[in-house]
């Protein structure tokens, strides 16, 4: 049976224990081990029943995603789990699934094929396959509706979110909640049911409903999936599979599920989403920082500046239970900052995200102040004052004097050099960038910026803290714009160039929205404020290389006082609810300006719009990767998915380029280089990988000894 599954006895009850740490995935050997255990249970006359339980901290987290990813790339599929599940269900003695941690995917499917399910209250169950671009592949879409009813089964299979054990108990997915030790409770339960007839989930048809009851449920689910999971195929396939359960006998429903599962598994979306699953976990791995690096305990924090970002960051810290002092320059601004925090929390209560009690407790953790005195005892300070080097240095010099030795001093700067900020202190090893994205309490991304001197302990602490804050922390090097904004710059630039060459605002935005981005680039510009870039460009004009084309239409709009959403007009006009309305005046103005600048006008295809904007991202991403400002192409993907609304089902910009084939990307970039000049000079790494027939993903794997830029 190998080491993965153990079969032991407790009196006349067999105990099947899965031991495949860390999450008891169904890797090769596990299904076989369970199957052999069922044979033993069957053969041993002294045994009356069995308990199936996970060793360690969890039940079974599902199929081994590494194996699935191989199958997605063409490795032949094995027999699958279906036969094992029938074997469990057809066993002449009852099998009780005992659940703690999570029963997900194939784990949930095994539990449902058992005759009974018991769970501790903290356990969670679910069919998360859609998050990987696939659907349940071992009859989950057929057994779950038989236990939970159609509405909940459709929701669970198409949203993929786990359900807490108490709710699963209410619905009938779980037969008993166990208080105290799980195995003891499960054994007692097994004794209670040994003499009872064996319920088989596949034969339970009483919750399957009638067609006229089910029709509106499926219609609403499809409508929801199309809206919420725009462009994704798996949620709709999952709904089709559950619908099959209501219309066909169990075995035929299973065949429908198998076909849909197989189609999803080979899709580009599944490959991309599996890449995202692993890339999101990989970001935490920093080659030169051991997993068990010592950490600085963060029990209290301080935030300097209670503006847009400082307010949001304070909420993020308080939400994680960390008391935070927020310092502002004057009373009126401090009051305004606190009022914004309260308003944000009130909105979260209104939208049902937090309870009133939670918010009250969090607000108590946020202490407004006008002085830095209290900062002497905090473990971490995050600075979020205006973006200006002189001011940042002044603040850091003050903090250095006041804060205790060993306290981390972090800056939320989006563009400034962390090493220069650190030079204002006597403790550069304790200075780091923590670049939150706006709104800080909502956006999941946190770029953690490593300075030349930043200590490993400080980096490890911030990476760990990002998890505690509910963020995905990605370590980046210290270059202008870091990773995300450095790439964003050419992306936005191309979107404006396209307008100046003849595309309309709606054409540019809809091409990228339809590709899957959460918003088109011009709508993003309006949201962020066109004036932000305008001011920066005015300040840095003297640094521009003469003869290089610069986008100008956005700046002209600013000169007319059109700053975007904040004052009701930018690329679009905005109504009182901040809904965007196309503005023909903008098209006319851009045409006029383009004529004055003698830019030839042409019809621009959607394909070109997508290629110009996305390959601008990719070309810059390739430079970043080669220069070592990001550790892996997957890190860049995670940044774009979590900070910039890039569709996860495309895998992120670098993964997307890999799927297009870097040879094709390179030749398109060369074309743009010929037509549009220097700005499109191909990144050397793109050139190299295209010539070698390699991908960014493979390059990242091969760079085992990579070092981050600027450190050595």
Q: Residues in the site for ligand NAD, rule: CB under 6 A?
A: 304-310, 327-329, 333, 384-387, 391, 395, 412-414, 436-438
| Share of the chain residues as helix, strand and coil, in percent rounded to the nearest 5 | 55, 10, 35
Task: For residue 430, give both structure tokens.
Answer: 């304790």
* Shortest Å, Cβ 275 to ligand T1G: 12
Does residue 272 bind ligand T1G (CB under 6 A)?
A: no
Q: Which does 136 bind (CB under 5 to 8 A by kind): ligand NAD, ligand T1G, none?
A: ligand T1G
Question: Distance (Å, rounded) from C-alpha 463 to C-alpha 472?
Answer: 8
CA atoms within 13 Å, Cβ hemisphere of 19: 10
23 binds, among ligand T1G, ligand NAD, none (CB under 5 to 8 A by kind): ligand T1G
Helices in 266-388 by DSSP H: which ranges?
268-282, 308-319, 331-350, 356-365
Binding of ligand T1G by 23 (CB under 6 A): yes
Region near ligand T1G per CB under 6 A, out of 125-133, 292-300, 367-375, 395-403 = 125-133
* Phi, psi of 474, rounded to the nearest 5 degrees: -120, 125
Residue 267 or 642 with smaller CB distance to ligand NAD: 642
Q: Please state whether the peptide bond connecting residue 108 to the residue before it is cis, i.e. omega within 30 degrees of 0.
A: no
- Residue 304 site contact among ligand NAD, ligand T1G, none (CB < 5 to 8 Å, cut-off depends on kind): ligand NAD
First to last CA, the chain: 50
Mention every residue, 6+ apart, whose C-beta is less than 8 A from residue 684. Answer: 623, 626
- Contact by Cβ (8 Å): 409, 302: no
Nearest distance, CB of residue 186 and ligand T1G, angstroms? 21
Beta bridge partners of 303: 326, 382
Indicate the residue among 104 and 641 with the shorter CB distance to ligand T1G: 104
Active site (catalytic) residues: 109, 129
Rounded least distance, CB 437 to ligand NAD, Å: 6
Q: Which stretch binds ligand T1G (CB under 6 A): 19-27, 216-224, 364-372, 510-518?
A: 19-27
- How many residues does the structure list for the chain? 712
Which is nearer to ligand T1G, 23 or 517 (by Cβ)? Answer: 23
What is the H or E stretch that residue 364 is in?
A: helix 356-365
Map the footprint of ligand T1G across residues 25-44, applying CB under 6 A. 25
Q: Which of 32, 36, 44, 64 binds ligand T1G (CB under 6 A)?
A: 64
Residue number, 61 or 384, with CB nearest to ligand T1G: 61
Q: How far is the CB of 63 from ligand T1G (least distance, A)?
A: 3
What is the H or E stretch that residue 411 is in?
strand 408-411
Sequence-distant (≥ 6) Cβ neighbours of residue 105 within 8 angstroms = 61, 62, 63, 126, 127, 128, 129, 136, 140
Contacting ligand T1G within 81-120 (CB under 6 A): 81, 102, 104-106, 109
Q: Using the rule CB under 6 A, give the single segment among 124-132, 426-434, 456-464, 579-587 that binds ligand T1G.
A: 124-132
Residue with tokens 């619905």: 171
**Site map 274..293 versus ligand T1G, x via CB under 6 A:** -------x------------
Backbone φ and ψ of 582, nearest 5°: -60, 145
Provide the sign of the torsion angle of the four alpha carbons 30, 31, 36, 42, taken in this order: positive
Of 11, 39, 66, 370, which one interacts with ligand T1G (CB under 6 A)? 66
For residue 404, give the DSSP letter.
P
Among 33, 62, 533, 682, binds ligand T1G (CB under 6 A): 62
Q: Cβ(220)–Cβ(242) under 8 Å?
A: no
Gap between the Cα atoms of 590 and 314, Å rounded: 41
* Chain residue whose CB lies nearest ligand T1G: 105
- Least separation in angstroms between residue 305's CB and ligand NAD is 3
Query: Of the listed pieces 21-29, 345-353, 519-527, 625-633, which binds ligand T1G according to CB under 6 A?
Result: 21-29
Q: What is the contact surface with ligand T1G in residues (CB under 6 A)?
A: 22-23, 25, 61-66, 68, 81, 102, 104-106, 109, 128-129, 132, 134, 136-138, 140, 281
């Amino acid at each position: 049976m190998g080491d993965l599954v153990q079969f032991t006895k407790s009196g006349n009850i067999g105990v099947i224990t899965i031991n495949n740490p860390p999450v008891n995935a169904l890797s090769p050997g596990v299904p076989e081990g369970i199957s052999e255990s069922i044979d033993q249970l069957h053969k041993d006359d002294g045994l009356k029943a069995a308990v199936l339980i996970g060793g360690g901290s969890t039940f079974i987290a599902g199929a081994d995603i590494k194996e699935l990813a191989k199958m997605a790339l063409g490795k032949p599929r094995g027999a699958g789990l279906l036969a094992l599940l029938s074997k469990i269900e057809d066993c002449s003695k009852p099998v009780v699934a005992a659940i703690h941690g999570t029963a997900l995917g194939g784990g949930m499917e095994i539990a449902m094929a058992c005759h009974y399910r018991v769970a501790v209250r903290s356990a969670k169950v679910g069919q998360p396959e859609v998050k990987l671009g696939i659907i349940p592949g071992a009859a989950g879409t057929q057994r779950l509706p038989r236990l939970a009813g159609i509405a909940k089964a459709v929701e669970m299979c198409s949203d993929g979110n786990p359900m807490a054990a108490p709710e699963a108990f209410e619905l009938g997915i779980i037969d008993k909640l166990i208080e105290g030790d799980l195995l003891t409770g499960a054994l007692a339960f097994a004794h209670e049911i040994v003499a009872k007839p064996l319920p088989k989930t596949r034969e339970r048809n009483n919750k399957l409903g009638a067609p006229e009851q089910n029709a509106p449920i499926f219609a609403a689910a499809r409508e929801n999936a199309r809206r919420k999971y725009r462009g994704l195929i798996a949620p709709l396939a999952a709904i089709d599979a559950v619908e099959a359960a209501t219309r066909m006998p169990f075995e035929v429903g299973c065949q429908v599920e198998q076909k849909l599962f197989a189609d999803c598994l080979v899709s580009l979306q599944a490959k991309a989403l599996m890449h995202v699953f692993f890339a999101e976990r990989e970001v935490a791995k920093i080659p030169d920082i051991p997993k068990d690096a010592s950490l600085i305990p963060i029990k209290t924090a301080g935030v300097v500046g209670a503006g847009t970002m400082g307010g949001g960051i304070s909420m993020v810290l308080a939400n994680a239970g960390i008391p935070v002092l927020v310092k502002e320059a004057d009373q009126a601004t401090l009051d305004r900052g606190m009022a914004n925090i309260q308003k944000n929390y009130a909105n979260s209560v209104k939208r049902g995200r937090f309870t009133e009690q939670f918010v009250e407790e969090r607000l108590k953790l946020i202490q407004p102040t006008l002085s830095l005195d209290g900062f002497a005892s905090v473990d971490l300070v995050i600075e979020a004052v205006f973006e200006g080097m002189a001011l940042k240095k002044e603040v850091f010099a003050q903090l250095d004097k006041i804060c205790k030795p060993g306290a981390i001093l972090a800056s939320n700067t989006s563009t400034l050099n962390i090493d220069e900020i650190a030079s204002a202190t006597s403790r550069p090893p304790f200075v780091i960038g923590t670049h939150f994205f706006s709104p800080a309490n909502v956006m999941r991304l946190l770029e953690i910026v490593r300075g030349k001197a930043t200590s490993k302990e400080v980096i490890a602490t911030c990476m760990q803290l990002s998890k505690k804050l509910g963020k995905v922390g990605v370590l980046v090097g210290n270059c202008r714009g870091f990773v995300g904004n450095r790439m964003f710059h050419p992306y936005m630039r191309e979107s404006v160039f396209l307008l100046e060459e003849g595309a309309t605002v709606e054409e540019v935005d809809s091409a990228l929205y339809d590709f899957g981005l959460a918003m088109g680039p011009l709508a993003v510009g309006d949201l962020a404020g066109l004036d932000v870039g305008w001011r920066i460009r005015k300040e840095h004009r003297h640094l521009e290389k003469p003869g290089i084309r610069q986008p100008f239409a956005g700046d002209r709009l600013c000169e007319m006082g059109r700053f975007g959403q904040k004052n009701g007009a930018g690329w679009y006009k905005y109504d009182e609810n901040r809904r965007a309305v196309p503005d023909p005046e903008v098209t006319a103005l851009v045409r006029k300006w383009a004529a004055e600048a003698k830019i030839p006008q042409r019809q621009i295809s959607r394909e070109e719009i997508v290629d110009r904007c996305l390959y601008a991202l990719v070309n810059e991403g390739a430079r970043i990767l080669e220069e070592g400002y990001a550790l892996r192409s997957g890190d860049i993907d995670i940044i774009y998915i979590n900070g910039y609304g890039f569709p996860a089902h495309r895998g992120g910009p670098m993964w997307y380029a890999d799927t297009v084939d870097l040879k094709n990307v390179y030749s398109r970039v060369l074309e743009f280089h010929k037509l549009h000049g220097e700005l499109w000079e191909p990144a050397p790494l793109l050139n190299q990988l295209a010539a070698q027939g390699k991908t960014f993903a493979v390059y990242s794997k091969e760079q085992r000894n990579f070092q981050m830029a600027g450190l050595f």
